């Protein structure tokens, strides 16, 4: 695949905290962790999608002025950022594993719409939906 | 602007109402979830999310009732019970005040209308049908009655 999405970024409140969460609890691995002064470009990748980077960025100067950054951090903490969806083979199994690791679930697995879904948040407040392929889907 | 750490804890109370809107959510219980004093909770929640906690809960209950009316054949009384109302009368009246139609009418209309939201995750479809309750139900009721309704100012639920 030569043409695809390379990076999509999330805003997080603390990059160390986010890195620990996404690697230790969700199983991502570090793709790039580059610092320049106080600026840190940090992305992680998922095992099955090595060409896609999920950026874990803190909104703030110098890329974003402090007042705007504060608004963005508040939006993240209020759960106002757009939904994220993670596809797994088995939502019940993923739920049990992640729950044991201390992931904050906001909805337990529910079977509906021909699938099973659950919801969790990262420490910053970003909301994820956990979903599995519909049975019979290819 | 509110402290981000406080906002994150307030979000936890909102998440808990989302997960179980049929349950009772007195301020004491919500304040405990957010680790905020009861005295500050309602004001902080409203400042963060734009509406008081009990009204937010009401929007979630109505949203859920609408989904059940649309997607199931459950009797209206069962839907009222499942979405947290203790009285069918209160449910019907509140539902009409918020949505402008009775539960039965909404069901009939929804069933007659084709939908093309099949490819959108179900929970987001439901969110799209959440009532935008910017004023109290009692206020809405008063306005629609031309200001002549002198009944209780108490919000439901």
Instruction: Determine the pLDDT at residue A69.
Output: 96
DSSP letter string, A71-106: HHHHHHHTT-SPPEEEEES-HHHHHHHHHHTT-EEE
User: Would you give the DSSP letter of residue B120?
Assistant: S
B1 neighbourhood in chain A, CB within 8 Å: 70-71, 74
Share of chain B above pLDDT 90, in %: 66
Q: Considering CB atoms only, which of A74, A107, A113 is closest to B7?
A: A74
Q: Give the three-class secondary structure for A131.
A: strand
Alpha helices in chain B (DSSP H): 4-19, 27-34, 38-49, 53-71, 76-82, 88-99, 103-112, 122-128, 137-144
More confident call, A34 vs B122? A34
A68 touches B: beta carbon within 8 Å: no
Q: Is the peptide bond before A62 cis (omega within 30 degrees of 0)?
A: yes
What CA–CA distances, in Å, run from A56 to A40, A99, B46, B84?
9, 22, 29, 39
Say whether pLDDT at B114 is over 50. yes
Handedness of CA B39, B41, B47, B52 (dihedral sign): negative
Cα separation, B18 vs B20, whole angstroms = 6
Phi and psi angles of residue A11, each rounded to the nearest 5 degrees, phi first: -95, 130
Q: Which two tokens stand for residue B114?
A: 């084709």
Beta-carbon separation of A113 and B122 below 8 A: yes
Confidence class for position B150, pLDDT limits 50, 70, 90:
very low
Which residues in B128-141 are b (16+ Cβ under 10 Å) and which e?
A: eeebebeebbbeeb
B2 touches A: beta carbon within 8 Å: yes
A117 neighbourhood in chain B, CB within 8 Å: 121-123
Share of chain B above pLDDT 70, in %: 84
Give the A window 28-67 contacts with B, CB below 8 Å. none
Confidence class for position A12, pLDDT limits 50, 70, 90:
very high
DSSP letter string, A31-47: EEEEEETTEEEEEEEET
* Mean pLDDT for the stretch of residues B44-57: 97
Instruction: Determine the pLDDT at residue B149.
Output: 47
Phi and psi angles of residue B147, each rounded to the nearest 5 degrees, phi first: 75, 15
Cα separation, A21 vs B108, whole angstroms = 47
More confident call, B135 vs B124? B135
Say whether pLDDT at A10 is over 60. yes
């Amino acid at each position: 695949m030569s043409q695809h999405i390379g990076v999509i970024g999330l805003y997080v409140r603390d990059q160390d905290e986010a890195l620990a969460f996404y690697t230790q609890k969700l199983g991502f691995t570090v793709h790039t962790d580059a610092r320049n002064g106080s600026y840190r470009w940090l992305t992680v990748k998922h095992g099955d999608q090595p060409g896609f980077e999920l950026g874990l960025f803190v909104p703030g100067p110098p890329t974003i002025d402090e007042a705007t950054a504060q608004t963005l951090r508040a939006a993240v903490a209020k759960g106002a950022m757009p939904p994220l969806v993670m596809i797994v083979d088995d939502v019940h199994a993923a739920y049990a594993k992640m729950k044991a690791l201390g992931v904050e679930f906001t909805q337990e697995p529910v079977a509906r719409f021909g699938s099973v879904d659950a919801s969790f948040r990262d420490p910053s407040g970003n909301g994820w939906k956990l979903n599995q392929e519909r049975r019979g889907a290819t | 602007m509110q402290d981000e750490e406080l906002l994150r804890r307030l979000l936890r109370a909102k998440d808990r109402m989302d997960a179980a809107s049929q349950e009772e959510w007195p301020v004491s219980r919500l304040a405990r979830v957010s680790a905020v004093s009861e005295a500050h909770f309602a004001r902080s929640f409203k400042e963060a999310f734009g509406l008081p906690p009990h009204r937010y809960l009401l929007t979630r209950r109505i949203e859920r009732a609408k989904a059940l009316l649309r997607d199931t054949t459950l009797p209206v009384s069962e839907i009222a019970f499942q979405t947290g109302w203790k009285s069918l009368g209160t449910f019907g009246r509140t539902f009409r005040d918020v949505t402008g139609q009775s539960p039965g009418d909404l069901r009939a209309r929804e069933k007659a209308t084709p939908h093309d939201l099949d490819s959108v995750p179900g929970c987001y479809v439901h969110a799209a049908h959440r009532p935008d309750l910017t004023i109290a139900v009692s206020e809405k009721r008063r306005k629609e009655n031309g200001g002549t309704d002198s009944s209780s100012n108490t919000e439901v639920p």
